[in-house]
Chain A
C-alpha cells in the first residue's frame, strides 16, 4: 500500500492558541480511516489545513508525495481531495440536482462561447453532467427530490446530499466531517452503509471525523485519536478502545 496523505509535524496557531500541535499521521491509499476526539480537539482544523482553508503554521502536508502546504483550496481539490462540512454548506436555495451538478460539471467542461450560445458541446456536456448527477442522487436515495430546494430537505438527507456532491467531484481522497452528527441510530446505520459502499464502489480513500466512537469503531480499521490539538493514540479499533490515554481523555471516567 502507498501513502496517499501524510501529515508531518503539523502545527496551527491562532494568535496564542495552539489549535493543532505537532500532528503527524498517515492515510494509506484505499483505506477507511477515522479521526476521533472530543469536541474542540482540533479535528475540523485538520481538515481545514488539508484543504487549504487555513494555512499551516508549521510542518508539512503531503498528498500523493507532493507537498500541498502552499496550494490554494481549488488547486487542492483538483488534485483529488473532496470534503464535506460538519455544519453543512449546501447551496440552500438551489435545487438538489443543481447542487450536485455544480460539482459534477468539472468533469464535463465546455467553453465560454458555448455557454453563451448554447451551441457546440453545451447540450451533450450538460446532459452528461445531469445524468451523472442523477445517478449519484439515485444512489443516495434523493432522486425523487432532485428538483426540491436543497435547504428544504430534512437534515439527514442534506448530509447525504453533501456526500453525493463531494463524491461527484470524483475525488481520490474524501474527507467526511462528522457525517453522522444530529442523526438518530437508524439513520447512522444507513449512513455507515452508504459510506462503506461508496468507499468500495468508487475506490475512495476516506478520512472520517467522528465524535461518537461507536460509529467509527464499526467501519474504520485505522483510527487516529486526538485531544487538545495533539495526537494521543493511533491504531486499530481494539487498540484505541483499550488505550489508556484515549480512555482518560476521550471517555473520561466512564467505561467503554
Chain B
C-alpha cells in the first residue's frame, strides 16, 4: 500500500473510534452533543505532552489521554445531565469551545495557538486498527448488554426508564464518560498520526462532523456509525483532486441521505445475521429475526 492510502486508512480508523463514542452518547442514549471535539483535544494534548515532554511510552500516554477526557466528561456531565432535555446540547456547544480556548491560551503547557509540534508518529496503521478493533468489539458488546438496554430505555422514554428502576441521570453521565474516553483515545491517536496538533483542529466544525457521521450512519446503530464514517471520510479524500468541489459533494451526500433515508443509512439495524435475513426474500416471517 502506498503511503497515501495507508494514511487515509489510518485516519479512518482514528475517526471511527471517535464516532463509536459519539454514537453511544447520541445514538443510544439520545443526547445530542456539539462539543465532542473538545474531548478529542484533551486526549490529543495529554498524549502529546506526555510523550514529548515526559518521554512516556505512547501506549500509556494514549490511555491517559482517554482517561483524562473521560474524567472531564464525567465532571461536565454531573451538573448538565441531571436535567432532562437539551441542556447538555446547549452546554456542550460552549464547553467544546471552552476546552479549545483553554488549550489555545495555556501557552506554558500547550504552546498555544501555534500548535504542538514534534510528536512522535506512534500511530501506525496496525496500531490504529488494533485500537479500533478492541474498542469496537467492546462497544458492540456493551450495547448488547444490560447497560445497552438501560441506555436505550433512557433514550426512548426516560419516565418509563426511571419507573423500571433506572437512575436515568446516572446512566446519562456514565454514557457521556464512556464516549469521552473513546473520543480522548481517538484524539490521542490523531496526535500520533499527525505529529503536529493545534487547537483549531478541534473546533466546532469537528464536533459537528462527529455528530453528522453518526446521524448519517443511523442513530442507534454502531455498524451504521462505522459505515457513515467510512463513506464520509472516503468522500472527502476521493474528491481531493477536485478539492474546490469536495465540500459541495460532502454536503450533497448528507442531503441525499436526509431525503432518501431520514433514519440514517442503517437506521437502528446492525450488520448482523438478522439484518441480512431481513434483506433476503420477504417470504421469511418477521418473527424469525434477532437472536
Taking Cβ atoms with an 8 Å cutoff, the residues of A that contact B are: 51, 53, 72-74, 77-78, 82-83, 85, 89-95, 97-98, 101-103, 105-106, 108-110, 112, 114-118, 122, 125-126, 129, 144-148, 165, 169
Contacts and interface: CB of A to CB of B under 8 A. Distances in A.
A115 B145 contact: yes
| Range of interface residues on B (Cβ < 8 Å) | 20 to 34
A115 B162 contact: no
Q: Which 4 A-B pairs have the closest CB atoms?
A: A115-B145, A77-B165, A89-B160, A73-B162
A51 to B, nearest CB: 6
Given A74-B165, A148-B286, A85 B160 contact: yes
A249 to B, nearest CB: 30
A52 to B, nearest CB: 8
B157 interface: yes
B152 interface: yes
A173 B202 CA distance: 52
Given A93-B268, A102-B150, A115-B145, A77 B164 contact: yes
Interface in B141-182: 141-142, 144-150, 152-153, 156-157, 159-160, 162-168
A72 B167 contact: yes
Consensus secondary structure, chain B interface: helix
Interface in B99-144: 138, 141-142, 144
B164 A145 contact: no
B185 to A, nearest CB: 14
B241 interface: no
Interface of B: 138, 141-142, 144-150, 152-153, 156-157, 159-160, 162-168, 268, 286-290
B165 to A, nearest CB: 4
Contacts of B289: 147
20 contacts: A73-B159, A73-B162, A74-B162, A78-B165, A89-B159, A92-B156, A93-B156, A93-B268, A94-B156, A95-B290, A102-B150, A106-B164, A108-B146, A109-B146, A115-B142, A116-B141, A116-B145, A125-B146, A126-B145, A148-B287
